[in-house]
Structure 1
Amino acid sequence: MLKRKGILLSPKVYFITVLSYMALGLFSSLIMGLILKTIGEGLITKGIDAEILVTVGQQAIALTGPAIGVAVAFALEAPPLVLFSAVAVGAFGYEAGGPAGSYVAAVIATEIGKLISKTTRLDIILTPFITLLIGFVSGKYVGAWIGTLMTDLGEIIRWGTEREPLVMGIFVATVMGLALTAPISSAALGIMLGLDGLAAGAATIGCAAQMIGFGVISYRDNGIGGFIAQGIGTSMLQVGNIIRNPWTIVPPTLAGALLAPFATVLLTLESNPEGSGMGTSGLVGPLMMLKTMGFEGEYYLAVFVLCFLAPALISYLIYRILRRMGRIKDGDLKIEY
């Protein structure tokens, strides 16, 4: 019966597919809202009337919960009544437990809503009634608990990074960088953990190194189109190649690990949760780093070097060494997109 209703109870579905769609919901509301708001406020300080950008950004941010709810329901292939109810469910969960609460409430409510959908002639009443009720209860109790747990874990990471910036900086940059390239959502992870400060700065560097690094080392196989697709889009395009040849992930990962101490110890670069897991995707990571620290000349230079120039150079150097060793060959980084 569960299979017939499209309920798979699969970790892959919940922690890969659904999280990826959740990230799209976050990008379409919270992250894009922050970008619009930041641009608008910047223009206003220069005497340009850009109040509309600030207003649109603020309203988009306010609708983060509903965006997560509908994104999760869409990922789970919810029928219409469940999908539309998920808008409110996402809001319930977000109020109770932030992004993590919204995710949990939407998953539970959607799966139960799918189970109820089209089982009686009262479908138009019963399905949204059950979906909304389950979503509210799930968000208030389960979602709130998960949200608190994720926040506490993020606080531990932030605390550890401030006290051991060298070791923790390398750890955070490596883990978040690998999460960005893996078929899970580093953006959703960073936001649910609430990474900020030095931890978010290290995460941004690790993610940027993956994207720019893969773009550079695969240029021989993919050209300028591949560079843009990975450097500004996502390094997740390389997952298939990494599985076939694990050596391909070494150059960008080492680049992120080597650069993290420069961000956490020498330059003390900081960022916010929204930019921590984005890397250079849509230039969100660098933009959020500048928003956190200030749009000043010295920070522009630091962000450019650590997010773009240094990852490119270090990744390419390590890549050349691995090519000479025969670990990476022509065609190993060819992507289909």
Structure 2
Amino acid sequence: MNWLKKKGIAPSLKSYFIDALSFMALGLFGSLIIGLIIKTLGEQIEIFFSINMGFFIEMGTLSMSLMGPAIGVAIAYGLKAPPLVLFAAAVTGAAGAALGGPAGAYIAALISTEIGKMVSQSTRVDIIITPFVTIAAGYGVAAFIGPYMAEFMTMFGSWIGWATEQQPVVMGMLVAALMGLALTAPISSLAIALMLDLNGVAAGAATIGCSAQMVGFAVASYRENKFGGLIAQGIGTSMLQVPNILRNPLILIPPTLAGMLLAPIGTTIWAMENNAAGAGMGTSGLVGQIMTFQTMGFTMDVLIKMAVLHFIGPAVITLLLSSYMRKIGLIKNGQMLIHTGGK
């Protein structure tokens, strides 16, 4: 164990399933997500204003294609890899993505980074041995595990989609609750949605649940955090509430219930759809809404449904529930104060 510690390797669920997934999400933001936004923006400007946006569309397409290397470098950085391992992880992430999609990129980058750290600075020809071992390990994992992992994750995601279509009320509530909680927890709902390849009404329910967490916490904690906290949580991240949730888990109830109450509307009366890139984002950077438009079309009908299910509904329901919980003493003033907010 001392040798592993000396090499900077600390095997744990936190390192591999919280830290690694969180940094994977940053890699996705820096490649696939921003690329998709840029491409969509270019395409819509071309449609509505008849302006040639080929440069934007090509730039976005290129960004999206570099998802694998971005995931590899992000995970290696998150695991505090030395330089040669970090740079070689770009190759292992690319191999994982090519052979096993986002899930393949995650597992290939994770394993190759840890193996690369084991051999790093162990020989006099470190500049050759370290990247060779890192790439060989990552490519081996990508080739032998990646396709099966991708197939399983995609199949599992399709089961969720199928179940949501068959039981839209129950599954809509379940998907909204679980994805919403994942978004607020220190793990990546974005990475989960992409690895599962969530789409259709299941992705729509996930977006509602995630939006409810962000908008709900932003509104419910307004008296503590004012406008700064409203913006930080509403279009930033509800993860800012994690320290407060650990102190009083009851503050999770209002936004989670809001998502569960609204999701069945989005799976039945007002069928809302999304893609995997938007499913786990909620209102963060308005990516969930941009991807909803990209999936369902840029129409006034979609805008109205989205406004009600992603913003107005979560705000009203969460505010009513949290106000009642404050009134009966289950939530006390100051318990949702975040460090970025202020009075």
TM range, normalised to the smaller chain?
over 0.9
Give the letter aligned to residue 166 of structure 1: V
Question: Does residue 112 in structure 1 map to residue 115 in structure 2?
Answer: yes
Q: Which residue of 1 aligns with 2:143?
A: 140
Q: Which residue of 2 aligns with 1:242?
A: 245
In structure 2, the residue corresponding to 1:3 is in which secondary structure? helix
Cα distance, 1:152 vs structure 2 = 1.1
- Structure 1 CA distance for aligned equivalents of residues 201 and 113 of structure 2: 36
Partner of 1:103: 106
Q: Which residue of 2 aligns with 1:23?
A: 25
Q: Report the Cα distance in structure 1 between the residues aligned to 2:54 and 2:314, rounded to whole angstroms.
A: 37
Within the candidate set 173, 176, 182, 2:176 is matched to: 173
- 1:150-189 correspondence runs (5 A): 150-189=153-192
Please tell me whether residue 5 in structure 1 is matched to residue 2 in structure 2: no
TM-score, with normalisation over the residues of structure 2?
Answer: 0.97
Query: 1:274-289 residue pairs with structure 2 within 5 A?
Result: 274-289=277-292
Q: Which residue of 2 aligns with 1:40?
A: 42
**Which residue pairs with 2:65 in the alignment?**
62
Cross-structure match for 1:226: 229
- Report what 2:79 is aligned to: 76
Match of 2:326 in 1: 323
Q: 2: CA distance between counterparts of 1:228 and 1:188?
A: 23
Where in structure 2 are there 5+ consecutive unaligned residues? none
Structure 2 distance, partners of 1:269, 1:59, is 29
Worse-superposed segment, 224-233 or 141-150? 141-150
1:212 to 211, 215, 225: 215
> Post-superposition shift, 1:144?
2.2
1:233 aligns to what SS in structure 2?
coil
In 1, the alpha carbon distance for the partners of 2:328 and 2:52 equals 57
For these two proteins, the number of residue pairs brought into alignment is 337
SS at match of 2:36: helix
Shift of 1:173: 0.3
1:299 maps to a residue whose letter is V
Q: Partner of 2:293 in structure 1? A: 290
Residue 235 of structure 2 aligns to a residue in which SS?
Answer: helix
Secondary structure at 2:271's aligned position in 1?
coil
Residue 39 of structure 1 aligns with an amino acid whose one-letter code is L
Kindly report structure 1 stretches of 4+ aligned residues shifted beyond 4 Å: none
* Residue segments in structure 1 that go unaligned for 5+ positions in a row: none
1:109-152 per-residue CA deviation (whole Å, 9 max, x = no partner) reads 00000000000001000001111111100111122222221111
CA RMSD of aligned residues (A): 0.7
Give the corresponding residue for 2:268: 265
Does residue 89 of structure 1 match 2:92?
Answer: yes
Q: Give secondary structure in 2 for the equivalent of 1:184.
A: coil
**Equivalent position amino acid for 1:190 in 2:** A
SS of the equivalent of 1:118 reads: coil
Output the amino acid matched with 1:281: S
**Partner Cα separation in structure 2 for residue 199 and residue 40 of structure 1:** 27
Whole-angstrom CA distance in 1 between matches of 2:55 and 2:252 = 43
How far off is 1:49 after superposition?
Answer: 2.3
Equivalent residue number for residue 123 of structure 1: 126
- List per-residue Cα deviations over 1:140-199 (Å, max 9, x = no partner): 112222222111110110110111111100000000000000010001000100000000
- Report what 1:49 is aligned to: 52
- Offset at residue 259 of structure 1 (A): 0.2
1: distance between equivalents of 2:276 and 2:72? 19
Deviations 1:306-327 (A, max 9, x none): 1011100000000111011100
Residue 255 of structure 1 aligns with an amino acid whose one-letter code is: A
CA distance, structure 2, for counterparts of residue 303 and residue 174 of structure 1: 18
Q: Give SS of 1:2's match.
A: helix
